[in-house]
Every structure is written in structure tokens, then in C-alpha cells.
Amino acid sequence: MSFDLSVISSKNIILAVTGGIAAYKSAIIVRRLKDYGFDVRVVMTHGAQAFITPLTFQALSGNPVHTELLNPEAEAGMGHIELARWADLILVAPASCDSIAKFAAGLADDLLSTLYLATKAPVWIAPAMNQQMWAAKATQRNLNTLVDDGVHVIMPDAGSQACGDVGLGRMPEPEDIAYQVMQYFHKAQRAIAEKFGQLAGQRVVITAGPTREAIDPVRYISNHSTGKMGFSIAAACYAAGAQVTLLAGPVSLDTPNGVRRINVSSALQMLDQSMLQLEAGCDIFIATAAVADYRVAEVAEHKIKKSGDELAISLVKNPDIVATIAEQQKRPFMVGFAAETRNVEAYAAAKLVAKKLDMIACNDVSRPDIGFASDQNAMTVFFADQYQLDKRDLEKASKQDIAQQLVEAIHDARLQHQPAGRNAHLDVSALDT
């Protein structure tokens, strides 16, 4: 499952490391948080420095490590206040029995305990200690106090411990801890998107990838579409607050986070699923799939054996999915795509009119830098309203960036343009053919 990491690229994490053998795992946490795009600063207690050096964390985080409460180099010597204001989340991993007790009692005799009291950011702790210390009534009482105060506790794992005991108290794997932090920010971003996003509450159906039209049980007709653009648009629509259903042809891509995926193979299967989604409720239909124009008239029941120098196969025309959806009584906002090799804008504008779409995005797939398999794209978008065609150019960028711009274009079109619907009288004569 993939995530849009851009939503956390500006988030600041303080990783606080306390004394305990699990401190070595904290180095991996820093690395994983950095991989996700977080800016990480490390705070170490004196006990932590007995197990691992500040230099390790400085090298991994790319930031100076904070160890002292009163820092002469910080503004007015109040480094803990600066850090407290900087953080979007404070993660204490490992959280020793002593640090948990200090937090619960409200002590402030070192940098970490003072930072805990001075921040408005969420505080997460990942306790790590001997199994008997974890089970002690005082520890459990302190933990209950922290939970009541709003601290999020990442529960320890059970297993063998460095002291030889077996039981609860092991810090979870660093990859799991970093992943939970990443998910937290994605869920928060999603909640905002569902309320304030450009497509908040909208039901979006997207077709993506190629279709395969069977010749016999082992052969088929298809095209070079990879589905990358459609999947990027699905992720962008979800990030904008939409409920997204992705009708995916046969592609090797991970399903975007939060997106409902339905796999199809042929054009007829994609049409059937499109109609089902329309009946279930659809506000915006985005047709990015490269649907085969023709299918084999009669699919062979068994593999066709090689015989002779030529093989004739009869083809019949597939139904036009986007035009079929556009003609329905419960018509959603229709977005088409045109992948052309010449006269790109003219063909796209004509397609917009002929298929009675509200918006179409077109690109020149003959260009090797933005073709089917490329991670980049460049597009021209046409909007239809009652009397004219409007145009917007999307300069070459990553397909993720293009997808976000297309979401903005859909939002703008629905706000500012009178949908063309069944109006087929738009003037496209000014475009070169």
C-alpha cells in the first residue's frame, strides 16, 4: 500500500532517547522517519548516552543532538522552549521507567522532562524495561496518569530480554514505530481533507491502465499503458477528500492508500464495472484508462497452433466507455483523457465535443520523456462550458504533481464553468488540425 508522503514533508519530530539497551533501536527509528520525509531532531538523556553516542544520531538526523537543559548557544539560553515550539510530535523511544515516572510526577530536572511540560505537541512514548519493572504497580499507575493526560503509549512487545527474563517490556521494532507515526499524520491529514479538501465528500470513479482483449487462452491484444497516471490521480483525489474507486486494468502497481480498487481485464468488464459504480453513486468520472478500441470477434477456446505464414483475426468494435457514461440520465461530471501522437490539441478538443465531456486532458505520447512508461507528464486541459472552450497548460512535472494540478482543474471547472453535458455545439475550428 502506498502513501502520499508530501503531506508529512514539513512535519517536525523530536525523538527523545532515554537510558536503556533498546536505545540502539532508536537509530533505526531516525533513519525510517527520515525516509518518510520527517525533519527529525534528537534529544538524549545522560543515561541514553551511556548506550549510544550523540554523534550517531547527529549523522543520521542531519541535525545537532540536544543533551542539556540550559544551552548557552540557544536563543537566550532557552533551548527547551525553542524545541517545544518546533515539534509537531514528540516521540520518546525507548521510554525508561524513570522517564515515565518523571512525566507522571511533573518533574522538570533535565531537558526531556522540561520539554515534556513545555510543549503543546502530541507526546508518544514507547516504554522499554525489564518485565518486572513494567508490571510494577507504580509503573502501571504512572502509565495510567500519562494516558489520562493524553499521552499515546505504544505498548511493548513480549519476548526474551537482555537481562535474561522473558515477558512484556521489549520495545517494538523501530520500523513499526516509525510507520505508526507516519500513519498518524496521514490520518490527521485525511480528516482535514474530508472536511475542507477540494473534493471533500465527492464520490470519484477512475478508470486506469490498459485493457486486454483475449485472442485465445494464452494470447491477447493490449497497449503500452502502465496505469501510472490514473493511479496518481486516484491518490490525489483521495488526498483532496474524495471517496475513490479505481477500476484498474492489468497493471503492476500498488493500490494508493485509502482507495478502493476493482481489477478488470477487458473493455467489456471495465464498462460493466463503470455502470455498476454509476448506479451506486458517482459525482465525478475520470476516464484515464487506455481502453482497447477493438476486441476479437470470436475468442478461440484453445490455444491457436502455429500453421502457415499468416493468421487472420476478425475484430469488432468495443463500446465507448466514457461516451456511454456521459449519455446516462444520472450523469456525473465527466473527465476524459486523450493520448495522441500528432495534432494532440485538435483531436482532444474534438473528442471533448463528440463525447459530450466536461473536461479533457491530453498529452503527446510520442514524446519519450512523457510517454506511457515515464514517471513524468505534461498535459493540456480543455474545459467545456455552454459557449466556448477554455484551456489550461500543465507544464512537464512528475505524474504526482500533474495529478494534483488536475484535481485543482476539476475543482475549478466545477465551480467556474457551466458543464457542457449534452451540448455538442462548441466551436473547435480555431484549433489546428
Say how far apart CA 5 and CA 178 lie, in whole Å.
13
- 237 given a catalytic annotation: no
Q: Which grid cell sits at 10?
A: 514539513
Cα separation values, 18 from 111, 385, 420, Å: 11, 62, 63
Secondary structure class of 56 (helix, strand, coil):
helix
List binding-site positions.
293, 303, 319-322, 337, 351, 355
Residues 6+ apart with CB under 8 A from 222: 210, 211, 212, 213, 250, 292
Out of 97, 163, 237, 362, pick the active-site residue: 163
Residues 6+ apart with CB under 8 A from 49: 67
Cell match 482543474: residue? 409
> Residue 33: enclosing H or E segment and its boundaries?
helix 23-36
List binding-site positions for CTP.
293, 303, 319-322, 337, 351, 355
CA angle, residues 136, 139, 145, in degrees to nearest 5: 140
Residue 109 burial (CB count, 10 A):
9
Say how far apart CA 145 and CA 104 lie, in whole Å.
6
Say how far apart CA 417 and CA 335 lie, in whole Å.
13
Which residues participate in catalysis according to the annotation?
A: 163
